[in-house]
Structure 1
């Protein structure tokens, strides 16, 4: 799993300074005071540099975005999967504005981790030996992974720009870069940014999930590849879903620095403003999905998807195509699209 682009350092002071300066800048702009607006913007920029630093300043904890998918990791691990969440804070702090190469860098980061796990699974040594700890006790993990991890049966999951990196990694043009003995069988992307046309993906089953109140307005990989795909692909549209709630560290309930609800509020309580990238779909109020509901919807489909394509569980197929509802889920919340491929 790979997270997306977010602040890297939990500097509460920098966040407070930035918020105050943004408000002062806006007031200055409204008053036509360009000098004061520029001064406040300089404060915003300095605070932002602290929030997006890497490594973080001494005494400032990093924002561990990689831990924000623990609910998915636990759900998958309970079904027998070995789950790895990759930290990408170094890329986030150094790759601003690199719309094309940042996805290649993210794909390369995935490959680097696959190589390390391949070595640990084959010989028991390498950079990961002794580096893993139990998050409950912080004690070193002494388990022997030799013969326990099948790198010929890999699934990838990415959120936001991490989703774009995953799509780059499963693109037809990237398959030659996969480490020897590693095969990616399927990929699931949560609100994957599609800020470039992307290389075609025709041979790997994938799923895209996006929310109608997501200001990033993601989800177009399904349409980009549906004409040429030879493998099954899926798209899930969450009515009232936003961008940040897939990651618990980014969500307001975490209390983490920089966490926020990034949906535009609607005109009534409990609503958000839809963000369809379609002139025929004007902005309108939609019922807002709560954090836990959005994550539950994601977890149901992520686990079913990887059980289907890594475990061969064909009984999960009707849930993935939308023919059968997941238990306790209102039918109108999720719209499914499915293309079986050639």
Structure 2
């Protein structure tokens, strides 16, 4: 009788411990400070920030496209890089102003003398901080030249692949265009960082916002896998508030890579095509996340409070009550993307309740569909 009681007590203790561990793991994904990068000073100090800029005309796509664009990015990474290789995540913004100019002012690319480029690529710094704290190297690309010359998804996809090729060369041999090109984001001094042998280019994630969302789906598309640089494997893709999907017979069909479509209810609905196109084709996790009453611009902090025409509410329901605030929407993005990339790039299923919508993120209502 005593032995039976001890067994029951032991089982109960183990059950309580399991519940506590599960709750602790979920709190990792649901803590606002950790998700937005506004947590403790120690957490922020654990993340380093560098930039590289190879020139405002370094990217071309002739003869398909007459324009040119910069090869420029901001990189968030763990200050103490582990000995083992860690995954890489590439972020890409969408269409917006290339430079800080009034609607009737001079335009051009590069920006006219005395005019600064518009910092769309810094609009995801909150994502970079959150993901770097969680053990990822995060590269946010600038594509202002593509915006000025009205490049489409194909140019943006080629820009992504060109950056990936440079990272593959850098991490495998320490050579290539990026070698010695990193500068500290704050001081502008050369950054003391060596990514050689520290980044796993077979575990790459992509995120695209707005038109950038189309680009990441084209990059990861089944028909375009051969265009990805040798030694690089894309394992997870996220689209944020896409400008719309693409027809089901084109090169943006993704069925051999996991993906998540995060859709803003107050923006457009065409991005569901990305999800529906994979139905019956994919055997990998795919999610369609409808964010109720969400704002397209709030996912990018530079677009949330931008100058002139870019700081307005560009959605279809500006008067709808109970809409998420910018901070709530950005916290949702950081929390959801952290859970997703842990699944896609680290095979960590601990955030599945977040991904399926079973666990609500504060201030944001969602409806989630999942494949397969």
Instruction: Give the TM interval when normalised to the shorter protein.
Output: 0.7 to 0.9
Q: Which has the higher strand share?
A: 2
Partner Cα separation in structure 2 for residue 128 and residue 249 of structure 1? 26
Shift of 1:291: 0.8
Partner Cα separation in structure 2 for residue 204 and residue 294 of structure 1? 26
Question: Is 1:249 aligned with 2:302?
Answer: yes
| The one of 204, 207, 214 aligned to 1:164 | 214
| The one of 148, 151, 158 aligned to 1:93 | 148
RMSD of equivalent CA atoms: 1.9
Q: How many pairs were matched up?
A: 279
| The one of 292, 297, 306 aligned to 2:332 | 297
Query: CA distance change for structure 1 residues 258 and 120 in 2, over 3 Å: closer, same or farther?
Result: farther
Shift of 1:288: 2.2
Partner Cα separation in structure 1 for residue 271 and residue 226 of structure 2? 27
| The one of 85, 89, 110 aligned to 2:160 | 110
Shift of 1:258: 4.1
Contact 2:245 2:272 in 1 (8 A): no
Alignment-derived partner of residue 288 in structure 2: 235
Query: CA distance change for structure 1 residues 291 and 217 in 2, over 3 Å: closer, same or farther?
Result: farther
Alignment of 1:1-342 (within 5 A): 1-11=91-101, 14-15=102-103, 18=104, 47=105, 50=107, 53-95=108-150, 102-194=152-244, 196-197=246-247, 198-199=250-251, 200-214=253-267, 218-252=271-305, 255-256=306-307, 258-264=309-315, 272=318, 285-326=320-361, 329-330=362-363, 333-339=365-371, 341=372
Query: CA distance change for structure 1 residues 257 and 80 in 2, over 3 Å: closer, same or farther?
Result: farther
**Mind listing any 5+ residue stretches in structure 2 that lack a counterpart?**
1-90
Contact 1:321 1:338 in 2 (8 A): yes
Contact 2:245 2:273 in 1 (8 A): no
2:140 aligned counterpart, secondary structure: coil
Q: Normalized against structure 2, the TM-score is what? A: 0.71
Shift of 1:312: 1.3
Partner Cα separation in structure 2 for residue 192 and residue 265 of structure 1? 15
Q: Normalized against structure 1, the TM-score is what? A: 0.77
In terms of mean alpha carbon deviation, does 231-240 or 66-75 score higher? 231-240
Question: Deviations for 1:205-257, whole angstroms, at most 9, x for unmatched residues?
Answer: 100111111158644311232232222110111111111111111112xx545
Partner Cα separation in structure 1 for residue 353 and residue 268 of structure 2? 30
Contact 1:151 1:183 in 2 (8 A): yes
Partner Cα separation in structure 2 for residue 314 and residue 74 of structure 1? 21
Runs of 4+, deviation exceeding 6 Å: none
2:261 aligned counterpart, secondary structure: strand
